[in-house]
């Protein structure tokens, strides 16, 4: 059974970007573990809630894929989170799938994973600044796959993103 770690902000994650990939991957037989920067109930931008573990508890484990969920809470909670950064670097170095949707792409960029490769992101002035600073080759497409690194630009791409992650595992 494939194991997937999903990481979402404790507040203002994008509902579809968590729910759709989780549903798609679980339907394909994956075991999905949801974590955040605090354990307990986390809250989506559109009213969804989910139960999440503490990201620190997953720091030493290896999963087949790590997915970082976007939304308005991602910049503050995830972009510069040191535990997430280490998880991303460890999984990338181990050849595992590392993926992010929407604004969460900047967390991958700041972890050094997107330097010199093609990726997409939800375009804001701040996310594009991070991509430029981190040497990302931005592509204005819904989903971009660069080897085992997969990025998507927002909630409308959530299903295509999930299928790309499943195919890469």
**For 95-143, how does the pLDDT look when each residue is reduced to its tens digit (9 = 90+)?**
999 999 999 999 999 999 999 999 999 999 999 999 999 999 999 999 9
Which pLDDT score, from 0 to 100, does residue 126 have?
Answer: 97
User: How is 104-115 classified by DSSP, letter by letter?
Assistant: GHHHHHHTTSST
The residue written with tokens 């993103």 in the block is 161
| Predicted local distance difference test score (pLDDT) of residue 76 | 97
Long-range contacts of 56-62 (CB under 8 A, 24+ apart): 56/83, 58/5, 58/33, 58/87, 59/83, 59/86, 59/87, 61/5, 62/90, 62/91, 62/94, 62/96
In order of start, what are the domains of the chain with their CATH numbers?
3-168 (3.40.50.880)
pTM: 0.97
Average pLDDT, the chain: 97
The neighbouring-strand residues paired with 97 are 65
């Amino acid at each position: 059974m494939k194991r997937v770690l999903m990481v979402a902000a404790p507040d203002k994650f994008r509902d579809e970007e968590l729910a759709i990939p989780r549903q798609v991957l679980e339907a394909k037989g994956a075991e999905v573990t949801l974590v955040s920067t605090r354990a307990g109930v986390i809250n989506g931008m559109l009213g969804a809630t989910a139960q999440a573990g503490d990201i620190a508890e997953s720091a030493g484990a290896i999963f087949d894929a790590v997915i970082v969920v976007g939304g308005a809470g991602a910049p503050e909670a995830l972009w510069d989170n040191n535990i997430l950064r280490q998880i991303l670097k460890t999984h990338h170095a181990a050849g595992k799938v590392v993926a992010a949707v929407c604004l969460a792409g900047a967390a991958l960029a700041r972890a050094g994973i997107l330097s010199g490769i093609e990726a997409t992101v939800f375009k804001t002035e701040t996310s594009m600044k991070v991509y430029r600073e981190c040497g990302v080759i931005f592509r204005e497409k819904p989903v971009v796959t660069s080897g085992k690194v997969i990025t998507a630009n927002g909630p409308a791409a959530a299903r295509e993103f999930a299928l790309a992650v499943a195919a890469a595992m």
